[in-house]
Amino acid sequence: MVTSNRSRVVIVGTGSVGSAVASAIVQQGLCNELVIVGHHPNKAQGLAMDLADGLEFLGRFVTIRAGNWEDCRHADVVVVAAGPKPKPGETRMQELGAAIDIVDPILRRVRDSGFDGILIMVSNPVDVLSWFAWKRTGLPRAQVFGSGAALDTARLKTIIGETTRLDPRLVSGYVIGEHGDSQFVPWSTVSFIGKSFAQYLADNHSRYPGVTLAGIEESTRRRGLDIKGLRGGTSYGIAATVAGLVRTILWNERSVVSVSTLIDGEYEYGEHDVFLSLPVALDGGGVGDFVDLHLSGEELVKFHVSAEVVRRHCSLIADRL
Ligand SMILES: NC(=O)c1ccc[n+]([C@@H]2O[C@H](COP(=O)([O-])OP(=O)(O)OC[C@H]3O[C@@H](n4cnc5c(N)ncnc54)[C@H](O)[C@@H]3O)[C@@H](O)[C@H]2O)c1
């Protein structure tokens, strides 16, 4: 008798992001069963049917269905992608008041289901809500994280790829800190075809006139806002990112990604009780070892600024706990 590996992913939220994440997971055949839980049951049902209609042409069969909170109990991964529709021009932190009213009841239901898998927060402001989710669910720190700067890291690579007209996957490096205005690139960690990217740029200055590290970093930071201005919101980049995180977990890949995780005294970072993005090893157990980036003094100052911003916003919702 074959023992099937019944991996189950639950997605909470059927909006632009939830739908795109569901589609990316199904297209890549990452799990055995995908369950969609939505505020509007009809939308969840419709999304499940719509996704299932393409199964004949996909590489791997996935059972797709609408579900309810009880389905979280035996889920390996729950992705929370519900929240207020981000308004053009509004910062992620400005979404906090509306977001917490939506996300807190969701987290209570996930907790009450008996869920003991890996919880991925996508709703913004993602660092603040990941901290809140960790506190609200009582899950071990390894089992709760936010997509955080994984998307910003992918954006940085895309921009370097667009600038150099080379494959973005040749870039190794990370965006860290807040998924928001205070995020930054520790350039000493960024390498490209065998050397530091800073060195690559210096060596090829005449081929890329006007291109600077600061300019690339600012374009990375602004990219979400730019996309929102152009098409009203973002969905496919975050969907590919979350699918990548799900794959790393379910396939136990031990990839190293910059996700929003509890920082509690690791290395020189000198921060406690705050969720920020740093590169960590991700596998079937969730967040594993940290990487010691040996940040410079200037970079550590930026990291503490991110911590301060996130902590200040956490304090605004701490009385709900
Ligand atoms: N982390 C990232 O990088 C990233 C990127 C893009 C968007 N986001 C965030 O994802 C979230 C969703 O964005 P979107 O563009 O899909 O928005 P959307 O408006 O298209 O969808 C919002 C979803 O939230 C659900 N929802 C709204 N009110 C609810 C309630 N009271 N209870 C339960 N569910 C409720 C809706 O039913 C819908 O499924 C937002 O918080 C957004 O900021 C995060």
Distance CA 249, CA 280 (A): 12
Helix, strand, coil % over all residues of the chain, rounded to 5: 50, 20, 35
Lining ligand 1 with CB less than 6 A are: 13-18, 38-40, 81-83, 85-86, 95, 99, 102, 122-124, 126, 147, 151, 179, 233-234, 238
CB count within 10 Å of CB 95 equals: 21
Q: What is the reported pLDDT for 281? A: 97
| 319 annotated to bind ligand | no
Q: Quick one: pLDDT band at residue 7, thresholds 50, 70, 90?
A: very high
| Cis bond before residue 125 (omega within 30° of 0) | yes
| 152 annotated to bind ligand | yes
Average pLDDT over residues 280-285: 97
Q: How many Å lie between the centroid of ligand 1 and the Cα of residue 194?
A: 40
Q: What is the reported pLDDT for 267? A: 86
Distance CA 273, CA 271 (A): 7
179 is catalytic: yes
pLDDT (tens digit, 9 = 90+) per residue, 108-146?
999 999 999 999 999 999 999 999 999 999 999 999 999
Q: What is the reported pLDDT for 268? A: 87
Q: Name the residue type at position 103.
A: V
Average pLDDT in the chain: 96
Average pLDDT over residues 248-255: 96
Atom of ligand 1 nearest to the CA of 12: 39
In the predicted structure, residue 105 carries a pLDDT above the cut 70: yes
Q: How many Å lie between the centroid of ligand 1 and the Cα of residue 102?
A: 9
Q: How many Å lie between the centroid of ligand 1 and the Cα of residue 59?
A: 29
Atom of ligand 1 nearest to the CA of 18: 16
Kind and range of the H or E run holding 146: strand 144-146
Q: What is the reported pLDDT for 6? A: 76
Q: What is the reported pLDDT for 92? A: 87
Distance CA 258, CA 172 (A): 12
Residue where the block lists tokens 């993602």: 126
Distance CA 39, CA 121 (A): 17
Q: Quick one: pLDDT band at residue 3, thresholds 50, 70, 90?
A: low
Atom of ligand 1 nearest to the CA of 40: 37
DSSP string, 243-278: HHHHHHHHTT--EEEEEEEEESS-GGG---SEEEEE
Atom of ligand 1 nearest to the CA of 82: 24
Q: Quick one: pLDDT band at residue 287, thresholds 50, 70, 90?
A: very high
Q: What is the reported pLDDT for 175? A: 98
Residue where the block lists tokens 């374009």: 219
* Contact by Cβ (8 Å): 132, 315: no
Q: How many Å lie between the centroid of ligand 1 and the Cα of residue 300?
A: 32
Instruction: Assign 294 to helix, strand or coil.
Output: coil
Q: How many Å lie between the centroid of ligand 1 and the Cα of residue 40?
A: 13
User: Atom 25 (ligand 1): residue with closest C-alpha?
Assistant: 82
Instruction: Assign 174 to helix, strand or coil.
Output: coil
CA 211 to chain centre: 28
N- to C-terminal Cα separation, the chain? 47
pLDDT (tens digit, 9 = 90+) per residue, 82-100?
999 777 677 888 999 999 9
Report the percentage of the chain scoring pLDDT > 90.
92
Residue from 179, 205, 294, 313 carrying the catalytic annotation:
179
169, HSE (Cβ side, Cα atoms, 13 Å): 0
pLDDT (tens digit, 9 = 90+) per residue, 143-192?
999 999 999 999 999 999 999 999 999 999 999 999 999 999 999 999 99
Q: What is the reported pLDDT for 4? A: 61
In the predicted structure, residue 221 carries a pLDDT above the cut 80: yes
pLDDT (tens digit, 9 = 90+) per residue, 38-74?
999 999 999 999 999 999 999 999 999 999 999 999 9
